[in-house]
Amino acid sequence: MILARVIGNIASTMKHQHYEGKKILVVKPINLEGKTSGKPLLAVDAVQAGIGDLVIVFDEGGSARSMLHDEHGVTIRTVIGGIIDSVSEEKEA
């Protein structure tokens, strides 16, 4: 799982049939402090996320297809599976 912020969306006139009818967003991985921790990714939106949302991203094909209820969508690997309301971290003693 990847903690990320939605930073943009993708519009395309043509796409592979497995992506038809699916919203694709640009997400930027972040760490628990909210700082960038990786390169931006493209992810299929399974939860109606929007720009600025903090989200959970799954970067594994089987999980992605399961969340989208599309076991035949073999080209889909990365999916937004949740919108995060808050993050808390247990402090070490």
Alpha-carbon distance values, 62 to 14, 34, 56 (Å):
24, 28, 16
Domain boundaries, the chain: 2-83
pLDDT at 77: 81
Alpha-carbon distance values, 14 to 40, 66, 67, 75 (Å):
22, 24, 23, 15
Which amino acid is located at 5 in the chain? R
**Single pTM value for the model:** 0.84
How many Å apart are CA 88 and CA 38, to the nearest integer? 21
Give pLDDT tens digits along the chain (93 positions): 999 999 999 998 888 777 788 899 999 999 988 899 999 999 999 999 999 999 999 987 667 767 766 666 567 788 999 999 998 878 876
pLDDT at 43: 94
In this structure, are residues 12 and 34 in contact, taking their beta carbons and an 8 Å threshold? no
Please give the CATH superfamily to which domain 2-83 belongs: EutN/Ccml (2.40.50.220)
